[in-house]
Amino acid sequence: MSSRNLDFTRRSLLKTAALVPLASGAVGQEADASNSLKSKAARRGITFGCGVSAPQIAKDQAFRAAVMADCAEIVPWAEMKWGFLEREEGSLDFSSADALVQFAHANSLKIRGHTLVWYNNLPPWVPQALAGPDGRRFYETHIRTVLSHFGTKVVNWDVVNEAIEPNDKLPGSYRNSPFLKRFGPDYIPHAFEIARSVLPHTPLYYNDYGIEYNFQGSKRDAVLELLSSLSKRGLVDGLGIQSHLKIGLWFDAKAFRSFLADVASLGLSILLTEFDVNDMRAPADIATRDREVADHAFRYLETTLDEKAVKGLVAWGLSDRYTWLDVPPFARRDGLPSRGQPLDAKLQRKPLWDAIARALDGAPVRPS
Ligand code: G3I
């Protein structure tokens, strides 16, 4: 990522974990705790949170305060992924993830687990190890070890991430991943089975992107089929819809609302797990761009939050100060920083913050 990505040391994060005040306003903003995204969400029975990385929390006090002000939950961007935990075979390093867990607990935030099985961000040794004679052991040990390590400190898990990819043109629309190559589609239910056996009371999610817009209908169908087969076996508790939105794509509210109802009818919860808005196709002018981002987001959130099975909303980065949207090929071609997060780079609220607030205020109350 960019030079904004600060170096992380475990010691500094552990030190800050205990020091962060319990509730503080975002920089320069009123400290009215009820006028925060987490309070607005909580009033509707929804959890609002954001994705973070350990260096941001360790080193950026103003950002930490912004997280505390608006969020009831954090999700590690990368620190719980296999590629982060076990770069070398057999040498596990939980320090960054543990520090985030400790920060969350010291400050009464929930923390979600993301993610156990993902084709991306694997340690370099894993694809070959999976393909070898001990492949099954490596796979199962990874899932068991990570879940046992965090236990019930993590509120729920994205067990499998991004396993459907119709463009790979395989039966069932499964993604052509090292897991699929080695084990076939059974690797998915098997991961959930292991997770259930280690943590029987922790809600387990299947998480994916690319189902938010109509042209992604075949992926929606494949995800629904996967969920249906997992839920028949009692293996899955919910769907994580990443919600990486993009200006310029047409959001068909009616079709998506009916997809959400189909998921809910399986008895599953839904979380919006990585919400943000890519503005690369919006005009450079900031006022116009912010308005387009807010309008696009509002249409999406008004629709999704209308479904009572949707219980959580996680912004994938709270502010434009830290965002993956500035990394090519997702970044704007004119080099301008993206404005797809609720706070700007100075941690000031933007029209997108207001749009999220408005959508939360208008959402029906979830049964407790
Ligand atoms: O924290 C380390 C830092 O200590 C080190 O100096 C630096 C040097 O590269 O790396 C930092 O870690 C980076 C980490 O993000 C935290 O910022 C990793 O290099 C970088 O590879 C990692 O990228 C993450 C990516 O997933 C791969 O894991 C992005 O932040 C994260 O936003 C992105 O998230 C994915 C979701 O998991 C799945 N859906 C798509 C989404 C966006 O790609």
CATH number of domain containing 353 = 3.20.20.80
Q: How many angstroms separate the alpha carbon of residue 77 from the centre of ligand 1?
A: 6
Query: How, if at all, do strands 110-111 and 47-52 pair?
Result: unpaired
In the block, tokens 């761009």 appear at 289
Adjacent-strand bridge partners of 204: 157
170 lines ligand 1 (CB under 6 A): no
Q: Evaluate whether 162 touches 120 at the Cβ level (below 8 Å).
A: yes
Is 63 inside a domain boundary? yes
* CA–CA dist 324, 278 (Å, integer): 10
Token pair of 216 as six digits: 């992604």
The residue nearest atom 29 of ligand 1, judged by CA position, is: 77
CA–centroid distance, 243 to ligand 1, in Å, is 18
**Helix residue ranges, H only, the chain:** 10-19, 37-43, 54-59, 61-70, 82-85, 95-106, 126-131, 135-150, 178-183, 187-198, 217-232, 253-265, 286-305, 351-362
Nearest-angstrom CA–CA distance, 66 and 145: 33
Q: What is the mean pLDDT of each run of 10 residues along the chain (368 residues)?
A: 37 46 38 89 98 98 98 98 97 98 98 98 97 97 98 98 97 97 98 98 98 90 98 98 97 97 98 98 98 98 98 98 96 97 98 98 94
pTM over 0.85? The answer is: yes
Find the Cα–Cα–Cα–Cα dihedral 97, 99, 100, 103, rounded to 10°. Answer: 160
* Residue 367 domain-assigned (yes or no): no
User: Which region, left, alpha or beta, applies to residue 56 given φ > 0 means left and ψ of -120 to 50 means alpha?
Assistant: alpha
368, with CB counted inside 10 A (0-12, 13-18, 19+), is exposed
214 lies in some domain: yes
Q: Is the CB of 8 under 6 A from ligand 1?
A: yes
| Mutational test site, ligand 1, from 53, 175, 325, max ligand atoms within 8 Å of CB | 53
- Out of 98, 208, 290, 326, the active site residue is 208
Ligand 1 pocket check for 296: Cβ under 6 Å = no
Measured distance CA(92)–CA(90) in Å, rounded = 6
Residue 36's nearest CA partner among 71, 62, 64 is 71
CA 105 to mean position of chain CA atoms: 19
> Under 8 Å CB-to-CB from 332, ≥6 apart: which residues?
279, 280, 338
48 near 91, Cβ under 8 Å? no
Does the residue 194 lie in any domain?
yes
Sequence-distant (6+) residues with CB within 8 A of 89 are 123, 125, 129
Does ligand 1 lie within 6 Å of residue 243's CB atom? Answer: no
What three-state secondary structure class fits 269? strand
Q: Give how many domains the chain has, as a whole number.
A: 1
| Residues in CB range of 305: below 8 A, 6 or more apart | 44, 46, 313, 359, 360, 362, 363
292 tagged catalytic: no
CB atoms within 10 A of CB 265: 10
Asked if residue 267 belongs to a domain, the reply is yes
Active site residue 162: yes
* Residue 95 in domain: yes
**Full domain range(s) for residue 29:** 3-13+25-362
CA distances for 289 relative to 277, 295, 311, 328, angstroms: 11, 10, 29, 19
Whether 20 is in a domain gets the answer no
Ramachandran area for residue 151 (φ above 0: left; ψ -120 to 50: alpha; else beta): left
Residue 344 lies in a domain: yes
pLDDT number for residue 1: 35
1 in contact with ligand 1, CB cutoff 6 A: yes
**Which residue is it, tokens 């306003």?**
25
Decide whether any atom of ligand 1 lies within 6 Å of the 82 Cβ: no
Which residue, judged by its Cα, is nearest atom 14 of ligand 1? 78
Of the candidates 70, 86, 98, 162, the residue annotated as catalytic is 162
